[in-house]
Amino acid sequence: MSILQGLRRAVQINGSGTATIDHDRRRNWSELAARAARFAGALAASGVKPGDRVAMLALNGDTYLEYFYAAPMAGALVVPLNIRLAPPEIVAILNDAGAAALIVDRTFAPVVQAIRPQLTSVKTIFDPASLDAAIAAASPIDPIEPVSGDLYGIFYTGGTTAASKGVMLSHGNIVSNAMNMLAEVGFGSDTVYLHAAPMFHLADCSCTFSVTMSAGTHAFVPRFDAVQAIEAIARWGVTNSVLVPSMINMILSDPSVASLDMTSLRGVLYGGSPIAEAVLRRAMATLPNCGFIQAYGMTELAPVVTMLPAREHVTDGPRAKRLRSGGRPVHTAEIRIVDEQDREVPRGTVGQIVARGPMVMQGYWNQPKLTAEALRNGWMHTGDGGYMDDEGFVYIVDRIKDMIITGGENVYSAEVENAIFQHPAVAMCAVIGAPDDKWGERVHAVVSLKPGETATEAEIIGHARTLIAGYKCPRTVDVRTGPLPLSGAGKVLKTVLRAELRV
């Protein structure tokens, strides 16, 4: 199977149904498929050949969805680009991927014009005007039919903990994830899915192809903005969306939540980074008719490998502890928790999370040594620390690299962040290890306060001491009034915070 099967199904069962809502423009599934076929024809006419890489640098919109289907119709691979990258990073990725063509929107056209002389492989650049003209002039292509093992695209990792790597995902990887999402989330032709998270990122893509398979509706806001997202939900009757924890927190903090009707929202998938339990409980209280679903995964897993369904989001009784888990393995995944020698550890013991199944990447683009290390013994080594309980629920405690060892004790930043988040003045926080002559590392918190709120370093530390052990509490706190640095996917960039400490 390939992702194109899902598009054909949508046309077959709901051809006249609304496929996309982009501002005031709406297209049905028959129109979208026909436009994607002409889009593929335009790519082929420009010289794109099967196996070529076609990159895209753009905000969310219906053109992005068409690109996801047009490129494979032409036999090309997609290379979605992070919109938060600096120009030198864009150049490095395009050259590393050997991209033959680049699609850019109005927002990023000036950036691409400036870097064009540095691009070694890009032969064709489509801006909105030239792309629309090329699509209008092109004949629909007779689609090249990929098979499950064919590469679909190269997705560069966010680089929040290390340099970006090109993750090679096949059609089978993407379809496997889409089928898991259908089983767990239950999209249908009445689904209205809001692309509020950036479309270049696998967090949003986790639902993109399953919504198409179910012939639902894709709605778009160009980039995440709490007010725009809330207004879109109310205006278009949005039923589902993917939101990373920082986005959920921003929506909850916006006054529009109380004044606009969000009752159509029945499912929010969240993940991408740990969510503070205090934020999750507040979200469930604010949107009582909405089912929250936690997903854990990574780009290399296409991306979801565990899910905690809405029915497991209970706040009282013995099952309430599961709110802190990432859920259980999705239908096609197998998970183990292993030690440094890759031996499975007993239930309840912290180790590294490893996974295998049809969602696991093909490897890292042009990096065979990294691929062999990540996929050793047939398992994807996530680099995440966690444990599994007796019922198969997986609890993610931290990135292995984010674990802080202070005075010989292991401290998991997610646990400390959850405690700090419960302070009423805190809007955002991140916990990292800072070099310390006495302790080796000390627990250091960076906190952003809500508008109009105040809190001192001593107050934050004192608050944490009421909730967690003293050795886990931050020894130093950087209190800020502005937001913390975020990646294009909305995750706090701990790499930037660590670099600030080294200055």
Angle between helices 457-465 and 413-421 in degrees, nearest 10: 110
Looking at residue 161, its pLDDT comes to: 42
Interaxial angle between packed helices 245-253 and 226-236, expressed in degrees from 0 to 180 and rounded to the nearest 10: 80
| Per-residue pLDDT reduced to its tens digit, 391-426 | 999 998 876 667 787 866 778 787 889 889 899 999
Least confident segment among 251-255, 318-322, 369-373, 395-399? 395-399
Residue pair 160/494 in contact (Cβ under 8 Å)? The answer is: yes
3-state SS, residue 203: helix
Task: Determine if the pTM surpasses 0.85.
Answer: no
* CATH code reported for the domain at 406-502: 3.30.300.30
Question: CB neighbours of 32 closer than 8 A, spacing ≥ 6?
Answer: 7, 19, 20, 62, 65, 66
Q: Residue 453: which residues within 8 A CB-CB, separation 6 or more?
A: 424, 425, 427
- Is residue 454's pLDDT more than 60? yes
Element holding 478 (H helix, E strand): strand 476-480
pLDDT value, residue 334: 98
Structural tokens at position 119: 């691009």
CB atoms within 10 A of CB 120: 10
Residue with tokens 């701990």: 494
Q: Is the CATH code 1.20.120.420 the one for domain 3-324?
A: no
Single out the residue of 258, 268, 315 nearest to residue 294, CA to CA: 268
The class (CATH top level) of 334-390 is mainly beta
Residue 275 has pLDDT above 90, yes or no: no
- pLDDT of the residue at 65: 98
Hey, which residues does 111 pair with through a beta bridge?
none
Is the fold of 3-324 the same as that of 406-502?
no
Show me where the domains of the chain are located.
3-324, 334-390, 406-502
**How large is the C-alpha radius of gyration of the chain?**
22
Mean pLDDT of the region 280-295: 93
Q: Is-contact 303 276, C-beta < 8 A?
A: no
483 in Cβ contact with 448 (< 8 Å): yes
List the alpha helices (DSSP H) in 193-289: 202-213, 226-236, 245-253, 256-259, 277-286
Structure confidence by residue, pLDDT tens digits, 422-444: 999 999 999 998 888 777 789 99
| Band of residue 174 on the pLDDT scale cut at 50, 70, 90 | very high
- Model confidence at 160, pLDDT cuts 50, 70, 90, reads very low
